[in-house]
Structure formats: structure tokens, C-alpha cells
Chains A and B, each alone.
Chain A
Amino acid sequence: MKDDTAQKPDSNSGVTRRDFMKISGIGVAVPLVLGPKLVEAAGEEVAVHGPGKVAVTLDVNGRKLTAQLEPRVTLLDALRDNFNLTGAKRVCDRGACGACTVLMDGKTVYACAVLAIDAQNTKITTIEGLAQGDALTPVMEAFVEHDAQQCGFCTPGFIVATTHFLASHPSPTMEDIRRGLSGNYCRCGTYNGIRAVALATKGRVS
């Protein structure tokens, strides 16, 4: 095993393509190829995805955040693993459950279904960016008041989705709620409370 912080290539394994790029710092310039690529390790060829790490800059909650990321890294994983914004949850990791819902240029997206490199030059808002400091938003307060959460793992995604839904549906009917909040799943069964939140908070989200 090699220490990734080593500046010199390991004499046993030789210089891999990725090591070379890391050492020489040319990562940014390489084309963004998304398919598997063969690199050499221990005298054998190994399929790896991505040509290596590139500098990715994201505008998250009004802050510019930069990290060296491989092109295959999703927006969700960048937020969670690189920027420690862990409010968005990784649950299905393939765009089915909504637990990773964030706002991208004001619209809800599943952060697990967006690549971090594709999220550059957009404005991302996560659950952590919805509230000012420790104060809760009206939607968050209503989630507490109506006990619209149990384990809480789906809750941040649901709050981002509900906030966006109420901003675009200031006076929703039950049918609007049924359709508008169908993109998120809860396992503990908190939908009754979430419906109450949507009805109680209408007109209070801009």
C-alpha cells in the first residue's frame, strides 16, 4: 500500500496516471472523460473511472467552495464528504427517494443525480442555507409543531422540497400537496404531519 501523500512514486508500483497528475498538478487541464480508463498498478492494468481529480468550485449557500474532485463525484457526495454539509442525506443514491433534495438556481434537484462538475456556475442552496443562523424558517418550525418527523433522516430533503413547493404553490389544495410532495419518501411514516405543515404554512413562504 502506498501513502497518498507521498511525493515520490513508489518504486514497486510505478507512477500511475493519477499519481502523475497529482504530482504535476495538471489535473485541471485534462479532458473530462467519464468512462472507465485503464491505468497501471503493480504491473497490471486496472479500470478506473475518470481521468483524475480536477478543481471544482461550487457556489453553496452563498459561499464559494473549492475541492479537487474526480468527475464522477456527485454533487451530493461533494457537499457531504468535501464540504461537511451533511444535511442532505444519501439514501437511494439514484434519484428515487428525495432525501438529498437541494435547490439549484432556485429549483429542487436530487443532489445524488447531479455531478459536482455539472453543478458549477449554479447557485446551490442546502438545508443548512435555508435558515439564518440558529433561527428556524416557518416551514422548519411547522415541522416541529406538527411533529412531521420521526427518525429525521428524510426530513432535510422534505423541508427543502416543501419550502420550494410552498413558494410556488402559495395556497395549495390537498391534491396539490399529494402531487407536489410525491418526490420524497419517508420510512417512519410522517406524511400526515407533512400534509399538516403544508396546509398550516401556506402563504408564509416566499
Chain B
Amino acid sequence: MSEYQWPDPATRPLLGKPISRVDGPVKVSGRAKYTYDYNPDGLLAGKILRCPYAHARITSLDTSVAERMSGVKAVHVIQGPGIEVFWAGDEIVGVAAVDEPTAEDAIRAIRVQYEVLPHFVSDAEPPKNIALDTGPMSRDNFEDMEDNQVPDEQVIAAIQRNGISFKPDEKYLKAAQESGVDPKVVQALRTAKYAEATTSRSPYKKTAVQTQGEPDKAFASAAAVSEGIYGASCITHCCLETHGMASEWPTDEDMTVHISTQNLSGIAGQVAEPLGIPAGNIQVLEQYIGGGFGSKFSPDRWGMTTAHLSKKAGGKPVKIMLERDAEQEVAGMRPSTFARVKIAADKEGKLVAWESRSWGTGGMGGGGTPPLPYIFEIPNQRKQNIAIATNQGSARAWRAPNHPQAAVISMGAIEDLAARMNLDPVELITRNLELTGTRKKIYRDELPIAAELMEWKKNWHPRGDKSPGPVKRGLGLSLHTWGGRGHNSDCDFTLHPDGSVEIKMATQDLGTGCRTLITIVAADTLGIPMENIKLLIGDSRYPVSGASGGSTTSGGVTSSTRRAAVDARQQLFAKVAPALQAKPEELEAVNGFVRVKSDPGRSLSWKEACSKMGAMPLTVRGKNPDKSKPPDLTNSGVGGVQMADVSVDTETGIVRVNRMVAVQDCGLVVDVKTAESQVLGALIMGISYALYEEKILDPVTGRMLNPNMEFYRLAGIADIGELKVHMMTGKGYDERGVIGLAEPPVVSPGAAISNAVANAIGVRVPFLPLTPDRVLAALEQGGAHASL
């Protein structure tokens, strides 16, 4: 057994136990300092003038009055005359002033004239006869296809047919291949013909029909066919701490950046390039972040504006935090996705055919491509996707990109098919687990546990609650998956002669428990209390660790920490061994002592042991991945099952969640407490987007109608029902290694709740959020109307 391997349950005092987060006390006392709270002496307040039109060209711009106002320290034009602006809220001018009121006055004193151009913001179902998109593939299109695991031969065919509108250099191609893109696809990119991106007049980008197997034949011979329409509207990230950044220039060539980011190690390079200074001259700092959910990976235009404003203001710190309306309008959203679906099963209830025409929007770049059909690899398929370009702020990764939408569509279609066949959906899904590939064992373990917790057999009824009274109750379920392999992570791990331990890593804790996981792994490996560990993160001068996206952080930071802690322990044992008259390999670190395994009485306290190091501390570097130090400590591909119990008032259309159950696998659970919090939080976020959240755009003005928090409604404490979480642990799970947990549990709630509502009221409410108007309209019209 390799010494780096995760320890057995019997020899891990902390790993896998419920442990309170280490930064809990500083957060509850209000002492945690977020980027928004950065408030040094002499801080200048930055504000941004934003375009009020969804599509316009700037014809003139006059900042002279603002520049001469008292208290105004710098003005920076972001987009000037002649520039075409493609969404409302886009950045035009930045201002820095002595305080916010002065900056607001200065913004009002700027004169901008626009030529207003036609806009398009509708993601309604595209017309029947739109032409196939033959334009070149953009980098976004390409990466989207890869993210969604579009079969390699289809990607290659599209590259060869349409050409590409970006010029991938060798660095990009190498990175693509390293991240898992098939070498044949990389080669196709290398030899692809380049074509200028066309700004076609049609907002619709239709992909070629993808066919697999013989769908027509399969539908014709199927025992049951169900047709329906499903989808989820655009929502925003709605981070409570809005996006923002502060810049200052201690010298003409050096910058310090405070930023609310999920990507601490990746910011300096992005800031340096446009400024023309070396990335090494930029120090990036962040201790706490008030939510990101996939929307905070770049410095963004407003962040770069603080760099320019600070430079113009003689290097003084300038901070811009977005106002709530700007946050909602431009700082990220989840694309809408809708689909017409036809699905079929044979008489044994085996899924045999799938057909879908999907569409949706993610701003000017079009929409995501949903991985349809979700989870189940149905043998005969025909599908086509239409991305709609709309004049609104661009989509950003939103916790499990494209998966929640794909789940709503696919699990909805499967539930409707089960209803048509008079089958319990748990039964239909169980009969088709072979189609879920490598995760079938996980789902097979999880389904009975979820059903037991939900008392499914007792509470489930065929479609349509037949009990008297206006309030109907129903159950629904959904399955999900995600990758979650640990990202690249380095750390410096230092043992001091006084017994203290210091870990440095340029990572960030989004509230997921990253700090706590690192501390647990270090303390567990060294057999000392967590209080002995001094963990330093949030500074780009520490060793590089990956961005927190795609559920990659837990696996990455725990793996690098484990390797470093084992190496540090080995070096310590070498120094201590003579004093204990033993060989280093005969020692163990347990319970605050370094002792001889075969004779535990021969021991030194941790502190005494460390004093044998001499005067100097020792530092080791931990890495992930590290092929020289096997085994692989992280893994990929989790499975989860969720079930929902809802009540629907058929007179008011109001849906309430009574109970939800989540059964989740994430390999080895490092901290049960923060892991359960992640899943509970995902359920609540899921209830929120299932029932309330929608980014509503006004077709007349092209502006968001609810860029706030009173009409962009989040779930509150009264809305969540009773929640139960079961983490899969023990044999079959622990030995998989640590796998990220952020995305997977947020995938299924929308689908499970939508299915529960259909089970309660007997008709499908096609689109999320399941607002009262949509529920009443579905009841009136019998469901399945694209107009809802």
C-alpha cells in the first residue's frame, strides 16, 4: 500500500467525520473581510456609466464636465464613439471619485448620445423553417461541444464542414489535448480552414441533425411513445456579494488587486496582458468571497476599469463593486433551454428511441447545448439544437452548466412516458439503468435508499392526485451526474521546529469548506489537532492552485495537501528516528505523538519530535496530479438521486415543496458536515430556480424587468420544506478518492419538482420556474403548450 493512499477508516481520526468549518467563527462574528469590505485609507469609489439600450451605437461622448467636478479623480472611457453595444447595461465610462455620492453625480454629468438599433431578446420557440447554420465554429461553440461530450466524429465533421472563426495556437491545442480533447479532434482544429465570424442577420444558429441508430424504425415498433415539451427559463447567478475588484499601483510597474473571484491564481495573467506589465508584478488577494456559482473567473471589464482609473489617479486604490441591477443584468446568467421531445419504450419498458428539437439563449453567443438525452444513452436518437442570439449580457457557467436544463427535459420526458405506460417512474428508471454506463451500480445503490427515505412506495400514486379538495400532492424524482476530478494544485507545506505547521496555497474558499478540508487532511495525516495548522490561502504569491469551477477544488487541494503532508511526515520521521532508536519507516504520527508502531510506549510528543529538526523549518511541495507519487487520490463521475414531494393548490397555482430527499455520492467524504451543507444548499438553490427565479426581459425595451431582489425572487426560509441528505460512504465509495460535490446535487431539484407537480395535478407544467400563472395555464390547457 502506498503511503500516499487515503488512510483506512480505522486510522483516520478526522477524515470522514462531521467537523465544523474552520472559518466559521470569523464569519459569524462579522470579522471576515470580503472584497466588498476592502476599505483602506484614501480608497476611491469607482462607478460605471452603463448603456440603457439593448442594441445601440455610440455617436458621441462628452466627459468634460464630469472630469472637472470637485472630488472626481479619474475618468476612463471604456467604449467610445463608433462602438456598437449589444446589450443593455454594457459598460461605457468609468469614474473614480472621493466617495460614492460624488462618483454617482459624475456619472450623471457624462453626456452620451446613441443611435438606437433594433434588438432581439426573445427565446420563444424558433420558427419551423430556419436555415442550417453554415457559419464557422467559434471557440465558444467548440468548447461547448466538448463540454457536452458531443461525439468526436460529429465535432470533426462540423469543423471540416463549417471551418472555425478562431485561430488556435499550439499552446491552446496542447491545453485542449491535456484536458481530454481527442487527438483526432485536435488535429482537425489544427488543419481547419479559418473563416471570419459572420454576423448573420438571423438570431438562430441551428446545428445539423445528429442521428444515431435507427430512430424511425425504433419509434414505429415501440410499445409506447410519449411526446411533450419541457424547459427552463434564463436565471441569474445573483451572488450576494456582487462582482467587483479594487486596484492600486504601489509603483508604476506594480499592482495590487483585491477581487471577488473563483480563480485567484488565474487573475494576474488576465489583468497583466491588456496593461502590458508582467503578470509577476501583480499581487492578487482575496480571503472571502460572497458567492460565485460559476460567474467569477475573470477580472471583467469593470475590474480592468479599476486598474485604469487607479493609474490615472496616481496609483490610489480604486474599487468598483457592481450595483445590484448591474449584477443581475450583465454579470452572468444561466442559458434558457427548451425542447420538444418524443421518447419511446418497448413492452418491457426499455427506452428505445429519443427525438428532440431543443432551443435556448445565453445572450449574444447563443445558448448552451444541452447533453440530451440526459444520463440515459438511448440507442436510437435524432436531435437538433438551435441557439438563439439575444441582446443581453452573456451567459456564464452556472453551477453544473447545461445539466439542470437537460435533466428537466429528459427526466420530464421519462416521467411522462412512465405515466403513459402506467408505470411507477422508479420502476421505469430501474429497468433502464444499463443505459447509464459506468454509474449504473451507483444509481442501483442509491435508488432504494432514496425511495426508503421518501417512503415512495407508501406515498406514490399514479398520475393525478384523486383525493378531494383543491390541494393536490405528488412525488417526482430525477438522477444526475457530474465529473468533479480534482484540478491541478500545488502547495507549500512547512513544519516548524516548535511543532507548528504552515500551509500555503493560492486557492480560494467559496464557502464550500475548502479551508476546512485542507486542514482536516493535514491534521489527519500528521496525527495532530487541526488548531496546530496555520493555513494561508487567498494570495497569488503562494503556490498555484486551480480555479474553483466544475467541482474540481475538493479533489485538487486535498490531494496536493495529502502528498505534502505525507512527505513532510517522512522527513520528520527521518530526523526523529535516531532519538527513538528506530528506523523512520517504523514510526507513526498518532494522537499528538510520534511513536514506534510496534512499541507505542517509545514516543515523543509532536512538539518534542519537531524540536529534533534543528533550528530550521522544513518545507515540502505537494502537487496534484503527481504521477511520481501514486495512487491517484481523486476521481471523476459521481451519481446522485433526488426525490421531491410537493403540494399544488389548483385554485391559486401555488406550488409548495413538502419534502426533498437527496442521496449523493462524491467518493471519499472528507468532512461530512460541510458535504451535507453543500447538498442541502443545492436542494434549496434548486427549489429556488424550480419555483421562483426567472430573468425576465422586456421585448419592447430589451431590458431586464426584475434586476433586483424583490422581483427576482429567491427561495426564503419558509419555502424549503423538510430536507433529507444521505451521503454514500464506505466500501465502494471511499476507495474512489475525493471527488467534487459543488455541481451534482443542484442538477436534479428542478426535474424532481417538475415531475412531482405533474404527478400531483395530472398535467405537465412545461417550463421552470413553476410559477402560479404557468401552473394555472397548464391546468386549463391540459399542459404541453410552448406558449407558457
Contact = CB atoms under 8 A, between A and B. Distances in A.
A179 B39 CA distance: 35
Contacts of A152: 23, 27-28, 32, 288, 290, 511
Given A18-B70, A191-B717, A87 B324 contact: no
Contacts of B289: 151
A192 B108 contact: no
A184 B104 CA distance: 28
B709 A2 contact: no
Nearest to A188: B681
A2 B104 CA distance: 17
Interface string A29-56: 0000000000001101011111000000
Contacts of B99: 81
B26 to A, nearest CB: 9
Interface string A78-99: 0011001011111111101101
A96 B73 CA distance: 33
A151 B68 contact: no
Given A190-B677, A190-B680, A192-B684, 14 more contacts: A42-B69, A44-B109, A86-B39, A89-B34, A90-B36, A126-B30, A140-B29, A144-B20, A149-B21, A152-B27, A153-B241, A186-B240, A187-B714, A192-B720
B20 A42 contact: no
A89 B28 contact: no
B241 A89 contact: yes
Nearest to A46: B109
B101 interface: yes
Contact of A182 (B23, B321, B717): B717
A69 B368 CA distance: 48
Contact of B709 (A19, A150, A159, A185): A185
Interface string B11-39: 00000000011011101111111101101
Nearest to B312: A1
A105 interface: no
Nearest to A181: B717
B780 interface: no
Interface of B: 20-21, 23-25, 27-34, 36-37, 39, 64-65, 67-75, 98-101, 104-105, 108-109, 238-242, 288-291, 293, 321, 323-324, 510-512, 673-674, 676-678, 680-685, 688, 708-710, 714-718, 720, 723
A166 interface: no
B108 A46 contact: yes
20 contacts: A1-B68, A1-B73, A1-B74, A16-B69, A42-B65, A42-B69, A72-B101, A81-B39, A89-B241, A92-B710, A94-B708, A128-B30, A136-B28, A147-B674, A149-B511, A150-B510, A152-B23, A156-B28, A187-B714, A188-B291
Given A13-B70, A151-B240, A182 B716 contact: yes
B25 A187 contact: no
Contacts of A186: 240, 684, 714, 717
A83 B25 CA distance: 22
A168 to B, nearest CB: 17
Give the 4 A-B CB pairs with smallest separation, nearest first: A87-B30, A189-B684, A153-B290, A189-B681
A177 interface: yes
B101 A73 contact: yes
A195 B680 CA distance: 12
A91 B30 CA distance: 15
Interface string A1-14: 11010000010110
Contacts of B290: 89, 151-153
Contacts of B241: 89, 91, 151, 153
Interface string A152-192: 11111001000000000000000001110110111111111
Contacts of A93: 323-324
A140 B240 contact: no
A147 B20 contact: yes
A186 B682 CA distance: 12
Specify which of B27, B105, B682, B717 lies most central, judged by the most chain A CB atoms within 10 Å of its CB. Answer: B717
A134 B26 CA distance: 9
B684 A178 contact: no
Specify which of A46, A152, A159 lies most central, judged by the most chain B CB atoms within 10 Å of its CB. Answer: A152
Contacts of A140: 25, 28-29
A131 interface: yes
B68 A89 contact: no
Nearest to A99: B240
Contacts of A147: 20-21, 24, 673-674, 676-677
Specify which of A131, A141, A184, A188 lies most central, judged by the most chain B CB atoms within 10 Å of its CB. Answer: A188
B28 A159 contact: yes
Specify which of B28, B65, B512 lies most central, judged by the most chain A CB atoms within 10 Å of its CB. Answer: B28
A91 B709 contact: yes
Nearest to A91: B240
B70 A4 contact: yes
Specify which of A92, A99, A182 lies most central, judged by the most chain B CB atoms within 10 Å of its CB. Answer: A92
A145 interface: yes
Contact of A2 (B36, B68, B238): B68
B30 A187 contact: no
A1 B65 CA distance: 10
A41 B109 contact: yes
A12 B240 CA distance: 43
B68 A12 contact: yes
Contacts of A192: 680, 684, 720, 723
Contacts of B33: 86
A113 B70 CA distance: 28
Given A70-B101, A149-B24, A178-B717, A94 B710 contact: yes
A131 B39 CA distance: 23
Nearest to A47: B108
B20 A77 contact: no
A34 to B, nearest CB: 12
Given A13-B68, A144-B21, A156 B109 contact: no
A153 B244 CA distance: 14
Specify which of B65, B104, B510 lies most central, judged by the most chain A CB atoms within 10 Å of its CB. Answer: B65
Contacts of B37: 80, 86
A194 interface: yes
Contacts of A195: 717
Specify which of A159, A190, A191 lies most central, judged by the most chain B CB atoms within 10 Å of its CB. Answer: A191
A143 B24 contact: yes
Specify which of B70, B99, B511 lies most central, judged by the most chain A CB atoms within 10 Å of its CB. Answer: B70
A188 B291 CA distance: 7
A4 B717 contact: no
Contacts of B717: 177-178, 181-182, 184, 186, 191, 194-195
Given A77-B100, A178-B717, A182-B717, A150 B512 contact: yes
A150 B681 contact: yes
Given A143-B24, A145-B20, A147-B674, A87 B69 contact: no
Nearest to B69: A41
A159 B30 CA distance: 9
B683 A189 contact: yes
A143 B29 CA distance: 10
A65 B507 CA distance: 37
A127 interface: yes
